[in-house]
Chain A
Amino acid sequence: MLGAYVPLIVMILIGVIFGVSNIVLAEWLGPRRSTRAKLSTYESGMEPVKSARERFTVKFYLVAMMFILFDIEIIFMYPWAVQFRELGMYGFTAMILFMVLLFAGYLYVVKKGALKWD
């Protein structure tokens, strides 16, 4: 029964060997000529201004949470839309109910001013 998993194990092994050997070889063979630009946080990106460890306002988290909720709504809606005819009235009612629940929550969030940005 476990025979079917042999290729998987072989692939995992190859993956591990490939990854580890590349790191080790690079460390071993690679020349090291460090410059100021190379050692900075983003080698070819923005100039670091200050430490990244500071407090964020809670508004970011609220928006992020709302985003995830509606993201998930969309994830549910795609397969439902594809199977719309097969699911028929039952699927339609279930989806409407789901959206009503989500909309009620959204209404609450907006009315409580959780998305106000000032």
Chain B
Amino acid sequence: MNFDILGSLPLIVIWLALGVVGIIIQAFVRSDSTRLVYGYYIGTLVTTGLLAAATISNQGTAFGGMVTLGGWAAVFDLLFCGAGVMAMLAAQAYLGRFNSELDEFYTMLVSSVAGMMLMAHARNLVVLFVGIELMSISFYIMAGFFRSRDKSLESAMKYFLLGAFATGFLVYGMALLYGATGTLDYSVMLKVIAAGTARFPVLLALGAVLLTIGLSFKIAAFPFHQWAPDVYEGAPTVVTAFMSTAGKAAAFSAFLAVFGVIMPMVKVASMTPTLQLVLAVISAATMLIGNITAVAQTNVKRMLAYSSVAHAGYMLMGIVAGTTFGQSAVVYYAFAYTFMQLGAFIIVGLLEREDETSLMISDYSGLYRKHGVFAAMMAVFMFSLAGIPPFAGFFGKYMLFYAAIESGFTWLTIVAVASSVISVWFYLGLIVKMYFSEPNPETHEANAGLAGISLAVCTVAVILLGIMPRIITGMLGN
């Protein structure tokens, strides 16, 4: 057994750092000295991210073809590790304010990153499943991390029950695909499907549909989005920030790889409506429902949760297109979306009070007087989320729309443009609230601390990606 040891380093490093060294450090360190564990895990994520960046051009497979190395998977690793570091920087002060800072939080965060990396690297359905479960179980625990707050517990419980249910669909889909093609390996499965030698075409179609349902749940696409607002609202804000961005990006990395395999089926088993059309309808419905419901929200966390549903709809357009350009559009949008949504949630977390107040949109009125920098950063994120140039969100949408038109889905693009216009209402509504209304006398002091680093990175990234989109798309050197 020989494999590319250099290319698999990001995976090996994070697994050993988490599963062996990290656990042993925590076993022997006193339980009140979180600083060491905190620093250690930030170091782990930074090292893994650097290794991933170094191995992007080192494409290949390892572990008997079960994982892919380099390429998009490494680019996604970079995203997960970056988002993990930013979430951890914001988490320390936030958890400290709520008296809930424990070593275990950071362990869970890094283990979810390990799960995401496995999802992006998976070239075998079982590996994908292990990755999804590792990520999801870490999220369930993190969502319920405020053990004495009812909302946090409710969010963890809902997420766990619905997540377990969705996992059932996912596994059933994998089992049916295995039954139809006789393999769990992506590349072999692709060959079988493309050659049309799969037995039981009905099982194949059913498996593909169930797998789509399972993954749609993870990205919170309509009609499997109902959990998202409740979970995102109840979970600690830093957790929401992390799972609504990196978690979603991870699900999309899996979506990209899996759909590269089951998409050709559309041509083979000439079934109407084809999978591509079904996905296009899901995408259109997701962005419409997400944006229209977001208009009616009064809670900022809920509003951002519905907006994250809508953004899942936009990203699905790239997968519907199914072209290489569509894929790179999804990857680019995943980066842009992560930075803007993470930044927005971190600001929400900073302004949130210990008694779960200051989360209403009305609490943000006149924010610029007291927190000029936060208001300005929030405005940048909102403009970017709304898709206004020159920010990253604009180029992300441009690429996605272009990909959809290129593969003949003009109607989908029209729906997307319409729903973007709807979204401007509530994104700009928040900006208007922050800048053009009387200051809220109850706005309290907020100290950014380490979270300021994350915010600065997010702001710079949102602007830089908007001006130079080739930073992401050029990473593979083509």
Q: Do B19 and A101 have beta carbons less than 8 Å apart?
A: yes
Q: Which of A101, A104, A111 has the most CB of B within 10 A?
A: A104
Type the 1/0 row for A30-71, where 1 means its CB is closer than 8 Å to any CB of B. Answer: 000000000000000000000000000000000000000000
- Which residues of B lie under 8 Å from residue A104 when comparing CB positions? 19-20, 23-24, 27
Type the 1/0 row for B229-267, where 1 means its CB is closer than 8 Å to any CB of A. Answer: 000000000000000000000000000000000000000
Q: Which chain B residues numbered 1 to 31 have a C-beta less than 8 Å away from chain A?
A: 1, 19-20, 23-24, 26-28, 31
Q: Do A90 and B20 have beta carbons less than 8 Å apart?
A: no
- Which residues of A lie under 8 Å from residue B27 when comparing CB positions? 104, 107-108, 110-112
A15 close to B (CB within 8 Å): no
Q: Do A107 and B1 have beta carbons less than 8 Å apart?
A: no
Count of chain B residues near A, Cβ 8 A:
9
- Cα A113 to Cα B228 in complex, Å, equals 36
- Which residues of B lie under 8 Å from residue A90 when comparing CB positions? 1
- Cα A112 to Cα B107 in complex, Å, equals 15
Q: Do B1 and A108 have beta carbons less than 8 Å apart?
A: no
Q: Do A105 and B23 have beta carbons less than 8 Å apart?
A: yes
- Which residues of B lie under 8 Å from residue A111 when comparing CB positions? 27-28
- Which residues of A lie under 8 Å from residue B19 when comparing CB positions? 101, 104-105
Residue of B nearest to A112 (CB): B27
Interface residues on A, range: 10 to 19
- Cα A100 to Cα B23 in complex, Å, equals 11
- Which residues of B lie under 8 Å from residue A108 when comparing CB positions? 23-24, 26-27
Chain B nearest CB: distance from A118 CB in Å? 19
Q: Do A100 and B20 have beta carbons less than 8 Å apart?
A: yes
Q: Do A101 and B20 have beta carbons less than 8 Å apart?
A: yes
Residue of A nearest to B199 (CB): A1
- Which residues of A lie under 8 Å from residue B1 when comparing CB positions? 90
- Cα A112 to Cα B31 in complex, Å, equals 9
Chain A nearest CB: distance from B119 CB in Å? 20
- Cα A13 to Cα B249 in complex, Å, equals 49
- Which residues of A lie under 8 Å from residue B26 when comparing CB positions? 108
- Which residues of B lie under 8 Å from residue A101 when comparing CB positions? 19-20
- Which residues of A lie under 8 Å from residue B23 when comparing CB positions? 104-105, 107-108
Residue of B nearest to A101 (CB): B19
Residue of A nearest to B28 (CB): A111
Chain B nearest CB: distance from A62 CB in Å? 15
- Cα A101 to Cα B24 in complex, Å, equals 10
- Cα A90 to Cα B28 in complex, Å, equals 31
Residue of A nearest to B31 (CB): A112
- Cα A52 to Cα B28 in complex, Å, equals 39
- Cα A90 to Cα B27 in complex, Å, equals 30
- Which residues of A lie under 8 Å from residue B31 when comparing CB positions? 112
- Cα A108 to Cα B20 in complex, Å, equals 10
- Which residues of A lie under 8 Å from residue B28 when comparing CB positions? 111
Q: Which residues of B contact A (CB under 8 A)?
A: 1, 19-20, 23-24, 26-28, 31
User: Besides the contacts A101-B20, A107-B23, A112-B31, what 8 more A-B pairs have beta carbons closer than 8 Å?
Assistant: A104-B20, A105-B19, A105-B23, A107-B24, A107-B27, A108-B24, A108-B27, A111-B28
23 CB contacts below 8 A, A to B, read A90-B1, A100-B20, A101-B19, A101-B20, A104-B19, A104-B20, A104-B23, A104-B24, A104-B27, A105-B19, A105-B23, A107-B23, A107-B24, A107-B27, A108-B23, A108-B24, A108-B26, A108-B27, A110-B27, A111-B27, A111-B28, A112-B27, A112-B31
Q: Which residues of A contact B (CB under 8 A)?
A: 90, 100-101, 104-105, 107-108, 110-112
Q: Which 10 A-B residue pairs are closest in the complex by CB-CB distance?
A: A111-B27, A108-B27, A104-B23, A104-B20, A108-B23, A107-B27, A101-B19, A90-B1, A104-B24, A105-B23
